[in-house]
């Protein structure tokens, strides 16, 4: 039973076991907690394949560690570091922009410990060079980001077709109700109102429907994905 995952096990066992889950979209959360890394909570909740710590860059690089990565983040037009644990519109923009990069890296099948927007061995500029050397394409970093954005929208549309929308974009209740204990994150929990407002902002920046979290026809057509809009009948 446990081999099916904790969410499936809790569903089968019942008796209030759902309260112990630490899952989003039935995917167990990694050991990077949204109580401290606030933007990861938004990504965990909205990511088409559930909680994943390798789908966007972590908060610290746009907070206390910004000076170490300023030149690299400047390439993505990310130049305004934000307060610790914040979920400002600018912090959400950081999450969205780096999510596009990580999505593109998945598309070209490169290791996220080698290429990436901050601490990795090679930067996205060098990823651009690699793609050009292999394919001969004179591609730009913004075009690479569009590759990632298109992938994200198609994944999101696939889920929408299967009946998944904002209603399922949640964090486990435990993260809102029970504070962490010990270490740097002692006493921290996710603020529900701040989280819901951040979800709105995340959908807005992606140009998705705020009520449903589903990509809009306008956005899909802008990404040359009109056929996806037809599939969704939107």
Considering only CA atoms, which of 146, 159, 147, 188 is closest in space to residue 45? Answer: 159
Q: What is the pLDDT of residues 222-232, one digit of tens each?
A: 999 999 999 99
Residue 28: strand, helix, or coil? strand
Residue 191: strand, helix, or coil? coil
Please tell me the predicted confidence (pLDDT) of residue 4. Answer: 92
Q: What is the pLDDT of residues 29-84, one digit of tens each?
A: 998 999 999 999 999 999 999 999 999 999 999 999 999 999 999 999 999 999 99
Query: What is residue 11's DSSP assignment?
Result: H
- How far from the centroid of its chain's Cα atoms is residue 149's Cα? 11
Instruction: Report the distance separating Cα 185 and Cα 32, nearest Å.
Output: 11
Instruction: For each of the domains in the chain, give its residue range(s) and CATH number, in order of start.
Output: 32-232 (1.10.599.10)
């Amino acid at each position: 039973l446990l081999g099916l995952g904790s969410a499936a096990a809790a569903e089968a066992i019942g008796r209030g076991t759902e309260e112990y889950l630490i899952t989003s979209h039935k995917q167990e959360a990694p050991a990077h907690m949204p109580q401290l890394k606030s933007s990861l909570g938004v990504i965990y909740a909205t990511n088409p394949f559930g909680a994943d710590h390798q789908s966007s860059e972590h908060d610290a690089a746009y907070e206390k560690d910004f000076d170490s990565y300023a030149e690299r983040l400047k390439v993505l037009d990310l130049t305004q570091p934000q307060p610790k644990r914040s979920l400002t519109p600018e912090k959400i923009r950081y999450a969205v922009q780096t999510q596009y990069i990580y999505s593109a890296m998945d598309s070209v099948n490169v290791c996220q410990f080698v290429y990436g927007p901050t601490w990795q061995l090679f930067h996205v500029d060098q990823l651009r060079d690699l793609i050009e050397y292999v394919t001969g394409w004179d591609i730009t970093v913004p075009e690479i980001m569009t590759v990632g954005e298109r992938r994200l929208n198609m994944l999101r549309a696939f889920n929408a077709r299967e009946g998944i929308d904002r209603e399922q974009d949640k964090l486990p209740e435990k993260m809102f109700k029970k504070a962490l204990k010990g270490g740097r994150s002692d006493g921290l929990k996710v603020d529900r109102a701040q989280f819901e407002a951040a979800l709105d902002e995340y959908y807005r920046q992606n140009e998705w429907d705020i009520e449903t979290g589903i990509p809009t026809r306008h956005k899909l057509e802008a990404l040359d994905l009109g056929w996806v809009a037809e599939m969704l009948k939107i």
